[in-house]
Amino acid sequence: MTPADLLLVGVLVLPGFTACAEFGSYAFVHPVIRRLPTEHHVAVEKGLVRTFGRFMPIAMPSSLVILIVWAGFSGAAAWGAVGLWSVGLVTTLIVNVGINARTARIGAGEMSASAWLAMRRRWDTFQGVRSWAFLLTFILVAFAFIGR
């Protein structure tokens, strides 16, 4: 396997896995846990912040780096993928990271149910933006590979 082959596998696997994890969380996990009583919703969100917080701070920027390297050898669709991933990453840094940090620090009964739901609605909105940006990135990558 050549270095170019390794790059291609990396471009498929790292952003692909990251996009699927984020989109799966957005589309399948969070709609279910939103219906939990606030106390349970907080507990689950705190657990998700811990779990995703171990992997995503490495995976998201690393995905952008590998996409940029790949785009240097590829066409316009690859740069479109870089742009989309960048939108998702910027959204993450500007909005979601702060809300995740606040979620991790929340103590029992520290926030009213209405304040909690307002904060989560904001998080959900921007989770949608980044999840779709990441998924569309992966779709562009897949189409670029088909066109090779």
d(CA 3, CA 121): 43
pLDDT tens-digit map of 35-56: 999 999 999 999 999 999 999 9
Q: What is the pTM of this model?
A: 0.92
pLDDT averaged over the chain? 94
3-state secondary structure the chain: CCHHHHHHHHHHHHHHHHHHHHHHHHHHHHHHHCCCCHHHHHHHHHHHHHHHHHHHHHHHHHHHHHHHHHHCCCCHHHHHHHHHHHHHHHHHHHHHHHHHHHHHHCCCCCCCHHHHHHHHHHHHHHHHHHHHHHHHHHHHHHHHHHCC
For the chain, the structural domain boundaries read 3-146
Q: Which pLDDT score is estimated for 83?
A: 97
Percent of the chain with pLDDT over 90: 84
User: From CA 112, how far away is CA 38, in angstroms rounded?
Assistant: 9
**pLDDT score for 100:** 97
pLDDT at residue 147 greater than cutoff 80: no
Select the more confidently predicted residue: 123 or 5.
123
Tell me, rounded to whole angstroms, the distance of Cα 59 from its chain centroid.
9
The string of pLDDT tens digits covering residues 82-120 is 999 999 999 999 999 999 999 999 987 788 989 999 999
